[in-house]
Amino acid sequence: AQTVTQSQPEMSVQEAETVTLSCTYDTSESDYYLFWYKQPPSRQMILVIRQEAYKQQNATENRFSVNFQKAAKSFSLKISDSQLGDAAMYFCAYPNFGNEKLTFGTGTRLTIIP
Amino acid sequence: DVKVTQSSRYLVKRTGEKVFLECVQDMDHENMFWYRQDPGLGLRLIYFSYDVKMKEKGDIPEGYSVSREKKERFSLILESASTNQTSMYLCASSSLSGTGGVKAFFGQGTRLTVV
């Protein structure tokens, strides 16, 4: 069974600075996807970024980028130029191949300091 | 704008009551999911459905059942609510790609308190 581990329950960063959230996972599959979801105080989960394992290039979405290390089974999220609206819970997730059910990490609560 | 709508944002029920949590999606998605969210535990899958009248157990199905009579609606049922079911419940839907790479859409969550 797949497992997803987020070892940082809480992180904080100064506004406009850069922060990196960590995620490790375990799988026996060779091709798969990985996601980062954001849950702001409104509770609406939003997909932030997606990485396909066979792609060497790290995914990027505006200020959000990932550092994907397949051999190390590591999938960290970097947020550049942090903004107040980035304050949220961030969940790393691994989707099951074939039925899309997600295995989530325990989450990292990100606080932005003005 | 695509939507997953959960019937209640907050709910308070008494121990032993039968509780229904409703979820409706307007995207014609095949897959629907119920997750439970607890601090320090992340989101855990209770049940999911990939078609009308089809259901499969997730990681923590005990004490719960589900119903999917129509494609757009997926209900979570607590047959006899207990205090340890006090939690946040999130519904999600996605299309069935078979690759695991599709985006899931989530409802706004129901915070259930059992007293």
Residue of chain A whose Cα is closest to the Cα of B108: A44
pLDDT of A26-35, one tens digit each? 988 888 899 9
Cβ neighbours of A113 (radius 10 Å) = 11
Q: Which chain B residues have a beta carbon less than 8 Å from that of A55? A: none
Q: Is the dihedral of CA A14, A20, A22, A23 positive or negative?
A: positive
**Contact between B43 and A102 using a beta-carbon 8 Å cutoff:** yes
Which of B9, B10, B103, B110 best probes binding to A when mutated, by most A CB atoms within 10 angstroms? B103
pLDDT of B100 > 80? The answer is no
pLDDT of B34-74, one tens digit each? 999 999 999 999 999 999 989 999 999 999 999 999 999 99
pLDDT given for residue B98 in this prediction: 67
Cβ neighbours of B5 (radius 10 Å) = 13
Q: Determine the residue type at B63.
A: G
pLDDT, mean of residues A37-66 = 93
CB B44 within 8 A of CB A106: no
When CB atoms are compared, the residue of A45, A105, A106 closest to B90 is A45
Map residue A76 onto helix, strand or coil. Answer: strand
Of B36, B86, B39, B30, nearest to B61 by C-alpha is B36
Residues 6 or more apart in contact with residue A47 via CB below 8 angstroms = A35, A36, A37, A38, B103, B104
Tell me how far apart the alpha carbons of residues B45 and B92 are, in angstroms, rounded to a whole number.
10
